[in-house]
Amino acid sequence: MAFWWGADRRLWAAVTAIGVTLAAGARAESLHQYSGLTLSGDGKRLAAVEADKAEGAGSAGHGAVVVRGMDGTVALKVDPCDACRYGNPAWSPDDRTLAFVGSAGGQAVLYLMDGATARPLAAIQGLAHTPRWSPDGREIALLVTENAKKEAGATQAGARQVGEQGEGDDVQRIAIVTVANGAVKLVSPERTYVYEYDWTPDGKGFVATAAEGNGDNNWWIASLRAFGRDGSARIIASPATQIAFPRVSPDGKTVAFIGGLMSDFGSFGGDVYTVPFQGGQPKDVTAGYAGTLTSLVWRGSRLVAGVTVGGETGSAVVDPAKGTVTEVRTAPATRSAGDGRVALDRAGTRAAWVAEGFDFGPRIEYGRLGDLAAITHDNDALAPLVTVTDLAWKNDGMAVQGWLVTPRAPAADGAKLPMVVNIHGGPSAAHTPRFVWGDIMAAFAKAGYAVFLPNPRGSFGQGEAFTRANIRDFGGGDLRDIMTGIDRAEAQAPIDDARLMIFGRSYGGFMSMWAITQTQRFKAAAIGAGLSDWYSYYGQNGIDRWMIPFFGASAYEDPEIYDRLSPIRHVRAVKTPTLLHVGERDIETPVMQTREFWHALRALGVETSFIVYADEGHVMQKAENIEDLNRRTIDWFERHIGTTGGTAGAHGGAQP
């Protein structure tokens, strides 16, 4: 066992009472961020992990756990561990105590904060997250991974591929910590990987999404299960869709969950399903809804849901008995909280979330559900770099949505703007508004580029039929949607079609590779973590199970569809100068997929450049690598878009 009362002295020695003061406001070179936002049951206090993110960094640095009042005033800050990253604050049922996790050096500590001090309760050798209080407040459950070989999740850098393969996978399990003495007990099965969970109202067990085997790979076949605190386990349902947010109704009779076509754990979306806790056939209670439900929480007999409609996000109320979605409130912003899109009080009337838009930085908003207002202002001094237009167009009889983002800095009189087409990953995801600051979007704005962010078929935001519309058709209808959207953007703003560029990572990387085999319209491409050969990719990547729902069968059972949709089969058509990059330890889109495309371009005499970033996974984390990539991308585009419609000097030399 890797649990003990009395943890490593390095961690315990770092435990202090309150005493760390955060910056009074975000500096010009930093962005103040809030994560894990939660609201007390009485609706009077909010808690979040707050930290400043340096410009160009992959994530925020060391922060503190901050408690605020309803007006946003800081009431308390604690930082008991100098080396830790904090996460997952959770209020006790009586609203008196806050639990949170601090992690550092392969260890995690569960802290309790009552009053002005934080004290350690239990330590774990490995990973721990998602603390949830038992209904009676006497225990706290956690998801734990003993002696973890890597951070949880397929987007994280993979473990070194040495030794016997397919053995010794990390296993994430439910553990219960007794508040009175810190005793820890594992309650879910040894070889079962638990992804998400929820207490049953009687405190006797849990509902969860879980699967056997490799946790990174098997989420796509996870089933809905019940686990007893006595070690018992049973399957409630095995839906054909991917499932997320398992939540038990207050009377303990019904389990609700999000079900749909999802391509990445954490990027959740679909319809709302319900099933009896004792088991049965799940029922889609929002079938036909023209939006995507993204999170769930019960309040009485109704479900409060996060929702994406088009490219906007917000909240909605689902009545499972009537099958209705009402009180839909969305805006051009991205909303998030510690447990989905929205944090609620006990009654479900008061709510809070962290919101950000293209033109405003992250801020906490609070108020009555459906009528929230900003209560923090740490990022108000950061001036927006862009203006945005919400675009709508039709293609193949489908309504499609996207965003046209243009720099606020004026172009020369009469000059047309070069434009980058930025394709999102997924494909089950969506471009929703994010503050343009310190990232590649900011680099594009400073370089004077317009950016088109399309949400083609396959995206979230317009219902399950739309999300499922690119099954076995990657690069078909979705590319037509994008190309038609480019025409729409050019009709909206002074865009120079002779200076179009394309950019994408992950699924967006595949789409970018595919697009330049199908059209000569793009003058330069910058592609990250791409997929060049679906057949070989099936055997190379660490998450092959995601492909079955999209292709209908494995590459070995139906090789023709994998082969037909592979950019490498059409690579002789490429003329576009192409910059390529990938993380060395990317298990989602392995290095060899990008290398194969680069090798072909070189052999065919197409100008190309390829960078492999050491120790990076699917999502880049190191500030120096992000800075290097942003610089290379702008330099690459500047070299190849020419001067049509303006002067090279108007856009040259800009750095992120």
Question: SS in 3 state form for 344-394?
Answer: ECCCCCEEEEEEEECCEEEEEEEEECCEEEECCCCCCCCCCCEEEEEEEEE
The per-residue pLDDT for range 600-609, each reduced to its tens digit, is: 999 999 999 9
pTM (two decimals)? 0.91
Task: Please tell me which residue, 16 or 110, carries the higher pLDDT value.
Answer: 110
What is the average pLDDT across 46-59?
88
pLDDT band at 231 (very low <50, low <70, confident <90, very high): very high
Task: Please give the mean pLDDT across all residues of the chain.
Answer: 90
Which range, 4-18, 110-124, 143-157, is most confident?
110-124
At 28 the pLDDT is 54
The per-residue pLDDT for range 162-181, each reduced to its tens digit, is: 455 455 678 999 999 999 99
DSSP letter at 426?
Answer: S
What is the helix (H) or strand (E) element at residue 296, kind and residue range? Answer: strand 292-299
How many CB atoms are closer than 10 A to CB 520?
10
At 513 the pLDDT is 97
Cis omega (within 30 of 0) for bond into 427? yes
Query: Is 150's pLDDT higher than 50?
Result: no
Q: How far apart are CA 333 and CA 310, in angstroms?
A: 11
The per-residue pLDDT for range 102-130, each reduced to its tens digit, is: 999 889 999 999 988 899 999 999 999 99
What is the average pLDDT across 587-616?
95
At 22 the pLDDT is 37
In this structure, of 4-18, 35-49, 246-260, 549-563, the range with the lowest mean pLDDT score is: 4-18
Query: Is 230's pLDDT higher than 60?
Result: yes
At 151 the pLDDT is 55
At 9 the pLDDT is 31
At 643 the pLDDT is 57
Query: Is 447's pLDDT higher than 90?
Result: yes
What is the average pLDDT across 302-326?
97
At 620 the pLDDT is 85
DSSP 241-284: SEEEEEEE-TTSSEEEEEEE--SSTT---BEEEEEETT----EE
Percent of the chain whose pLDDT exceeds 90? 82
DSSP letter at 17?
Answer: B
What is the average pLDDT across 612-640?
92
pLDDT band at 652 (very low <50, low <70, confident <90, very high): very low
CB 139 within 8 A of CB 179: yes
